[in-house]
Amino acid sequence: MEELLGLARDPAAEEARLPPPPAHRRRPGLAVGLMESTVETEVRAAHNVLEACAQTDVMKRVVFTSSVTAVVWSGAGAHREEVADERSWSDLAFCRKFKLWHALAKTLSEKTAWALAMDRGVDMVAINAGMLLAAPGPGLGLGLTAAHPYLKGAPDMYDGGVLATVDVGFLADAHVAAYESPTAYARYLCFSNAVCRPEDAVKLAQMLSPAPPRSSPPR
């Protein structure tokens, strides 16, 4: 499980375990700068979308898609003494320290959206989704692998009982319900599968493993 899904440990300790990267990749500052730029882009996009919604008179409600990763990372990692719920937020300093860029982007972009929504009087509901999964089928194009940024720190999330996934149909229904229900408000954690047992972890790892190439039939 750990070898497939990666670790969220001290970056220095992790770097010491790994073989040196190729020469053209030995520029950690460049990689960090690129990821920070990606975080800024997502935050700016959230701001622009909410600003556009605030400027229209026909907008009934905004259903903002966020992530469970904006909830689960406390200053002690995924091992919280208190229960993580819709009132919880991931710790920004922790996310930066351990380079949890996906969690950092989702946390900052959601906080930005909430700040603007409250300032401009926008009716907003947030759906904090687990990692999105879809049934196999043509045209889905989700490309899920163990390198998915959601899974940075997956072993810690698994140990803390907060590694969760959501089926695409379940998530779509949750968005519709959040939009249509007059009593919906604030944030909702949305997941259909909790990866809590070894067999759950094995199943997820198998789903994320690349399929072996098909051998050509003998001629």
The model's pLDDT over 116-154, given as tens digits with 9 standing for 90+, comes to 999 999 999 999 999 988 755 544 445 566 677 788 888
**pLDDT digit string (tens) for 37-72?**
889 999 999 999 999 999 998 888 999 999 999 999
What's phi and psi for 209, nearest 5 deg?
A: -80, 135
| Residues recognised as catalytic | 106
Give, in order, the Cα–Cα distances in Å from 216 to each of 58, 78, 162, 211, 213: 57, 45, 42, 15, 9
Lowest mean pLDDT, pick from 65-69, 102-106, 199-203: 199-203
Closest listed residue to residue 79, CA positions, set 156, 191, 163, 171: 156
Reply yes or no on whether the pLDDT at 3 is more than 70: no
Q: With bands split at pLDDT 50, 70 and 90, how would you rate the model's confidence at 21?
A: very low
- Domain 2-208 homologous superfamily, CATH: NAD(P)-binding Rossmann-like Domain (3.40.50.720)
